[in-house]
Structure 1
Amino acid sequence: MVGGWKKPRSRFGRWLDQQGIEQVEFSKLSGVSRNTISTLCNDKEYIPSPKVMKKILDTVRQIEPGKKMDDFFDI
């Protein structure tokens, strides 16, 4: 933590944190770029393209099968 504050995380970012999964690891598992995963974790307003959403959800469901896209994004 720099300066006593922590950058707010998106629901997806908090989920990764709770699972103990590093962004780099999720990027490799999903085939989604590290920059996109970082944006997904830190920008609460970011909505990925349908193609990226599918890759994310397919990977998330390997870890937690019951998850849905609206658990992470307001779509």
Structure 2
Amino acid sequence: MKWFGIGKDRSKLGRYIDQHGISQKELEKSGVSRATISRLCSDDEHQPTISTARKIINFLKKLDSNVNYDDFFNM
């Protein structure tokens, strides 16, 4: 399994993608900007808009149908 983000502060989303071998670059395919993904992967305090969260969750559901908003965001 590939590990990304070693030594970086990671949010719940950041830890999830690290554990599942998903790069932040790959997460950009969700249609969310690199800067927003970077913030969301490093800081649990940063909460996305509903639209941004939906894009990320819809992308991740293609890889894992059990993913839910509550896994990563306080919405």
For normalisation by structure 2, the TM-score amounts to: 0.86
Which of the two has higher C-alpha Rg?
Answer: 1
The residue matched to 1:36 in structure 2 has which SS?
A: helix
Unaligned runs of 5+ in 2: 1-6
1:8 and 1:24 mapped to 2: Cα distance? 17
Structure 2 counterpart of 1:14: 15
The residue matched to 1:7 in structure 2 has which SS?
A: coil
Q: Deviations over 1:23-56 (max 9, x none)?
A: 01110x2011111110010011011011101101
Identity of aligned residues (%): 43
Q: Which residue identity is paired with 1:40?
A: L
Q: What do you get for the CA RMSD once the two structures are aligned?
A: 1.4
1:44 and 1:54 mapped to 2: Cα distance? 17
Q: Which residue identity is paired with 2:71?
A: D
Displaced runs of 4 or more, over 4 A: none
Unaligned runs of 5+ in 1: 1-5
